[in-house]
Amino acid sequence: MTSTVKQSRNGVDTEVLFATLDAVKAAPEAAKLQFRAHNEWVSGTHNRSTIADFFGVGEERAHERTFVFDADHPAVLVGRDNGPTPVEFVLHALAACLTSGLANIAAARGITLHEVRSMVSGDIDLNGILGLNPEVRNGYQQISVRFQIKGDAPADVLKGLIEQSRKRSAVFDVITNGAPVTIDVDAN
């Protein structure tokens, strides 16, 4: 196996990965990131977010293109189904974060991944959101992730990749441990 092949294992440029680690080690202040989403109400439960700018590695940056996402409720939840529900985006974020980390960790450990699939499900009781039962929470009561992973390593090593990805996942951390949220309103 040539050095070039190693560098692009799993589509991960491990030289850049390790260079990033070294850069943050050398300049911890470069580690500060701020992500943003801009949302605009459309009608009813339908609204739209734009994701474009962020702050990272010392300066204001922009994604290669502007990403736009609609959210809505389905008809059975008094919406028009112009997009997934907000809570479904949370499940996508969790699957995506665990999977993004996985490829990097596998590459760093010299493991080639062949296939990674996951299904995330989350259970909600409408009695919470509708305010009908104060003992029922608004959010997910339970979230389950089921991974199918194939690669050139024994099953326990592949499972160890997912365990390490979980340990370093930003979204897993936020969902399981929570994060402080402040809300300011300019009304007129």
Closest CA to 46 of 83, 77, 76: 83
111 binds its own copies (CB under 8 A): no
The C-alpha atoms of residue 141 and residue 136 are separated, in whole angstroms, by 9
117 binds its own copies (CB under 8 A): yes
63 binds its own copies (CB under 8 A): yes
97 binds its own copies (CB under 8 A): yes
27 binds its own copies (CB under 8 A): no
* Among the listed residues 60, 112, 135, 181, the single contact to its own copies using CB under 8 A: 181
11 binds its own copies (CB under 8 A): yes
Cα torsion 135, 136, 138, 141 to 10°: value is: 130
Q: Which whole-number Å values give the CA distances from 40 to 83, 131, 146, in the listed order? A: 14, 25, 33
CB of 79 to its own copies, least distance (A): 7
108 binds its own copies (CB under 8 A): no
Q: In the structure encoding, which two tokens stand for residue 140, read together? A: 């997910």
How do 59-71 and 46-56 pair as beta strands?
Answer: antiparallel
Considering only residues 138-167, where is the footprint of its own copies by CB under 8 A? 138-151, 155-156, 158-159, 162, 166
* Among the listed residues 6, 38, 110, 152, the single contact to its own copies using CB under 8 A: 38
